[in-house]
Amino acid sequence: MSESSPGWVTQSISALNGMFGDYLLRRGNGLAIGMAFYVDNQPLQLSSQAISHAYPQAGNKICVFVHGLACSENIWMWHEAKDHAGKKTDVDISYGSLLQAELGYTPFYLRYNSGLPIAKNGSDLSSLLTALLANYPCVVDEIVLIGHSMGGLVLRAACNQTSAPSPSWLEKVTRVFYLGTPHTGADLEKLVHATARTLHAVPNPITRLIGDILDTRSQGVKDLRRGAPLADDRISSVVWLPNAQHYFLMGTITEDPAHPASRLLGDALVRVPRESAATNAVYDASHSRVFAGTHHLALAHDREVYAQIKAWCCSP
Amino acid sequence: MNEEKKMRIPIQQLRGAKDLLEDVVTATVNASESLQQKIVRQPYALLQRIDVIAVPVRKIESVQTTITQKIYGTIRLVTRGSAGLASRLLDLAERNARRRK
């Protein structure tokens, strides 16, 4: 019999990790999340036996889902009413379960401490994928990576491992999907950063205290200011994985993407970027789509978004 | 996959929540004390420039600082005591849970 936290506890802990995850880890706090793939709210042990037990029908194509800041893998799930023996019942659905049923991908859902530096999470994810492939019950031919918000930056960091030799999983990656990922930085974090600096500049103990409180936000949050995750400041830009195709899915808060509110706020947290700035020369209009009226969190569990992911997964 | 699952908050997470709460209370108390001292210092510094009343003002400030430190110290002590008690209760709960297994 295994023990697991109720959903609201998982959500609260993920939110805490997003805001103060580096502090929790530094203090050795039991609330700090260790990176792992999760199945049914339980961490997956990366042994052949455990993987075979959790995934009895593991196939040679896998897809990896990486959630965003302060979220957990539950962000990918939604309920749908299904007819079952003449009765309508609610079933849990996700992009992963649909990709498995329709295209044969075995889904792996990552949970991690989103308050840690993005580059660190990327490096840990790379190690985790290496361990997964080493213990996977069959040979993996193809890996699809899907990241929501900060998750997309974590994927870019994972794909940007500079150590030699490069991890073996990298050459298997065929497609990377970025859902509402702030490649050029998140405006909200830029605003908080500017506010904290201003408050510190005012020679008043109260404003300085408020500035100090703002500065307690995690390094993961602070990294969102710049967007592209750099482990080493000497590297001028994060290279896009050359053997994979990159897809950009973004949302807007209004039905009309040209509406001033959508231009200003994007999907409420991330703005639709300008082509060249967003994608650092890998931009291809046919690999990008804006979902009008779909807000930031909804990008991770939306039928229309899934249909587009599926269509791109089927394309050559 | 189909094994029976208990939906219960693990002790490790309860301990983490207790530690975090203690950290938050302690940091808040420290910040409040520091802020109060900085704010209170300003009028005293001004008054101490007047030679005639400088000595009694210094004494009043010293008494007030002592009282403030004692109050904040008491809050810190109660916080530590409560956290210690909570730790013991969690230890007890953990022992009971182990025994039941």
Cα dist from B96 to A214, A289, B11, B100, whole Å: 41, 55, 11, 6
Q: Which of A116, A162, A125 is nearest to A147 (CA)?
A: A125
Looking at residue B6, its pLDDT comes to 62
Residue spans per domain, chain A: 7-314
Do A30 and B13 lie within an 8 Å CB cutoff? yes
Looking at residue A232, its pLDDT comes to 55
Looking at residue B16, its pLDDT comes to 96
What is the Rg, in whole angstroms, of the alpha carbon atoms belonging to chain A?
20
Do A2 and B8 lie within an 8 Å CB cutoff? no
Q: Which residue in A has a C-alpha nearest to residue B21's C-alpha?
A: A29
More confident site: A52 or B6: A52
| Contact residues of B toward A, CB < 8 A | 1, 3-10, 12-17, 19-20, 23, 31, 34-35, 38-39
pTM comes to 0.90
**HSE-up of residue B72 (Cα within 13 Å, Cβ side):** 19
Looking at residue A87, its pLDDT comes to 75
∠ CA(A130), CA(A131), CA(A132), 5° rounding? 90
Task: Mark the ranges of chain A whose per-residue pLDDT is less than 70.
Answer: 1-3, 84, 229-237, 274-283
What is the Rg, in whole angstroms, of the alpha carbon atoms belonging to chain B?
23
Looking at residue A196, its pLDDT comes to 97
For the residues B71-80, what does the mean pLDDT come to?
Answer: 96
Do A31 and B16 lie within an 8 Å CB cutoff? yes
Contacts of B91 in chain A (CB under 8 A): none
H, E, C per residue of chain A: CEEECCHHHHHHHHHHHHHHHHHHHHCCCCCCCCCEEEECCEECCCCHHHHHHHCCCCCCEEEEEECCCCCCHHHHEEEEEEEECCEEEEEEEEHHHHHHHHHCCEEEEEECCCCCCHHHHHHHHHHHHHHHHHHCCCCCCEEEEEEECHHHHHHHHHCCCCCCCCCHHHHHEEEEEEECCCCCCCHHHHHHHHHHHHHHHCCCHHHHHHHHHHHCCCHHHHHCCCCCCCCCCCCCCCCCCCCCEEEEEEECCCCCCCCHHHHHHCCCCCCCCCHHHHHCCCCCHHHEEEECCCCCHHHHCCHHHHHHHHHHHHCC
Do A209 and B4 lie within an 8 Å CB cutoff? no
Whether the link from the prior residue into A165 is cis, omega within 30° of 0, is yes
Beta bridge partners of A251: A291
Give the C-alpha separation, A285 to A280, whole Å: 13
Task: Name the DSSP class of B3.
Answer: S
Pick from A27, A32, A209: CB nearest B31 = A209
A7-314: CATH topology is: Rossmann fold (3.40.50)
Q: Which of A228, A223, A298, A226 is nearest to A267 (CA)?
A: A298
What is the complex's ipTM, to 2 decimals?
0.81
Distance from CA of A208 to the nearest CA of B (A): 10
Q: Retrieve residue B82's tokens.
A: 């409560």
Q: Which residue in A has a C-alpha nearest to residue B27's C-alpha?
A: A213
Answer yes or no: are the C-beta atoms of A247 and A176 closer than 8 Å: yes
Looking at residue B5, its pLDDT comes to 57
Q: What is the pLDDT of residues B7-57, one digit of tens each?
A: 678 899 999 999 999 999 999 999 999 999 999 999 999 999 999 999 999
Give the C-alpha separation, A210 to A90, whole Å: 45
